[in-house]
Structure 1
Amino acid sequence: MPAHIEHLLTSGSFSLDGGTWNVDNNVWIVGDDDECVVIDAAHDVDAILQAVGDRKLVGILCTHAHDDHIGAVAGVKAAHTAPTYLHPDDMVLWDRVYPDAPPSRPLEDGQHIHVAGIDLDVLHTPGHSPGAVCFFAPALGTVFSGDTLFHGGPGATGRSFSDFPTIIESITGRLLTLPPSTVVLTGHGESTTIGEEAGHLAEWIARGH
């Protein structure tokens, strides 16, 4: 089977700035029958390992380092010895979860992660967090947006290390420039498309965060 996308919904908690909330996270697996990557290893190690199966795990890709998105990284990495990828600007968040276990490799804007015959292009999209990234898969017509862009608007910017004008700049300059038909697979909630979200930019700016 050629490269395709698999979805897991995992549940757990998110903690920051003294608060804790129950959350459901989308975990995305991109690959074929032989190899794959995991995008955002959230909460449930066993479910992720079962989905990966006996395939080669090429990497664990982190859209950002909020604890709900990286909580299962250590367990998945221990089972597969796969490298973990994170943008360096999110180390301030990563170190709160894994102070003694840095990620294996840095992500940078314009980088390409190759898996199952396709590329995932790294787009640095700060705002929700300093090192937030999205992964654009042109061959699949899909962008994995993490918590940068959701169905209905930008990710939250009301907590530490986030900034509303920055996330709007990231979405405008890096995501809304993608083809309108591009499917947006998010870190939480339902999917959308670039075209569907582009028409609401003025509303987001007026609403603010």
Structure 2
Amino acid sequence: MTGAVRVDHAISSGTFSLDGETFDVDNNIWVVGDDTQCVVIDAPHSVDDVLAVVGERTVTAIVCTHAHDDHVRVAPALRERTGAPILLHPEDRPLWELTHAEARWDRDLADGQTIEVAGTTLRVLHTPGHAPGAVCLYAPDLGCVFTGDTLFDGGPGATGRSFSDLPTLEASIKSQLFALPAETVVHTGHGDDTTIGIERARDWGPTD
């Protein structure tokens, strides 16, 4: 028996660096799968932290929500340990190259693409703004969406640094994420969960 598909979670601590500044951050690690196979969403600070969540399962993909260093820092090392391909939206190439000038990712992500794992489907939603190639991963069977740094408990992600733009981010959230069912649980890149309904009702969101 492979068991039911599930979402496993842990937190990994490290740093985020961009535009000449470095900050301490805690990143969520999300793993979707059953007892035998799984997909890892983002590869932040420690391969061992990720593998502690994976356990003995086969990793079929390392899916990067975007290429800020606190989300992809150990992606190549995790690929070496697991043999799993790295998936990234190609518009995040400039950010990826800030961290990994030599290593490349393996497969491009595209809006509307589906990723199958353990009998369930993750649908890729391209949500630029926090980063040009930022994506969210919607799992309708599980009633959740993995938003990386696009949407948090409290509103949109940060846009004060290079390669980011607030109007673009807000447009992405309103068109891609707020179209999801209100009860959809939002699993974020940092911090606590929220729901689409809660965030849609905040003052910054649409009024219709």
Fold in common (TM above 0.5)? yes
The one-letter code of the counterpart of 2:17 is S
Q: Deviations over 1:104-158 (max 9, x none)?
A: 0000000000000000000000000000000000000000000000000000000
User: With structure 2 as the length reference, what TM-score do the two structures score?
Assistant: 0.96
Instruction: Report the counterpart of residue 84 of structure 2 in structure 1.
Output: 82
Instruction: Report the counterpart of residue 122 of structure 1 in structure 2.
Output: 124
**Partner-residue secondary structure (3-state), 1:113:** strand
**Partner-residue secondary structure (3-state), 1:21:** strand
Distance 1:190 1:169 in 2: 23
Instruction: Report the counterpart of residue 32 of structure 1 in structure 2.
Output: 34
Is the 8 Å Cα contact of residues 154 and 204 (structure 1) preserved in structure 2?
Answer: no
Q: Displacement, 1:71?
A: 1.1
Equivalent pairs counted in the alignment come to 204
Instruction: Report the counterpart of residue 162 of structure 1 in structure 2.
Output: 164
User: With structure 1 as the length reference, what TM-score do the two structures score?
Assistant: 0.96
The equivalences for 1:38-187 within 5 A come to 38-187=40-189
Is the 8 Å Cα contact of residues 33 and 118 (structure 2) preserved in structure 1?
Answer: yes
Identity of aligned residues (%): 55
Is the 8 Å Cα contact of residues 63 and 133 (structure 1) preserved in structure 2?
Answer: yes
Deviating beyond 6 angstroms after TM superposition, the runs of 4 or more aligned structure 1 residues are none
Distance 1:191 1:78 in 2: 31
Q: Displacement, 1:76?
A: 1.1
Where structure 1 has 5 or more consecutive residues not aligned to the other structure, the ranges are none
Q: Displacement, 1:55?
A: 1.1
Which deviates the most, 45-54 or 168-177?
A: 45-54
Distance 1:120 1:134 in 2: 9
Distance 2:52 2:148 in 1: 22
**Partner-residue secondary structure (3-state), 2:204:** helix
Distance 2:139 2:204 in 1: 28
CA-based RMSD: 1.0
The one-letter code of the counterpart of 2:182 is P
Instruction: Report the counterpart of residue 203 of structure 1 in structure 2.
Output: 204
The one-letter code of the counterpart of 1:32 is D
Q: Deviations over 1:70-107 (max 9, x none)?
A: 11212211111100000000010001111111100000
Distance 2:85 2:171 in 1: 30
Distance 1:196 1:50 in 2: 32
Distance 1:192 1:53 in 2: 27
Distance 2:102 2:58 in 1: 26
The one-letter code of the counterpart of 2:133 is G
The one-letter code of the counterpart of 2:129 is G
The one-letter code of the counterpart of 2:45 is H
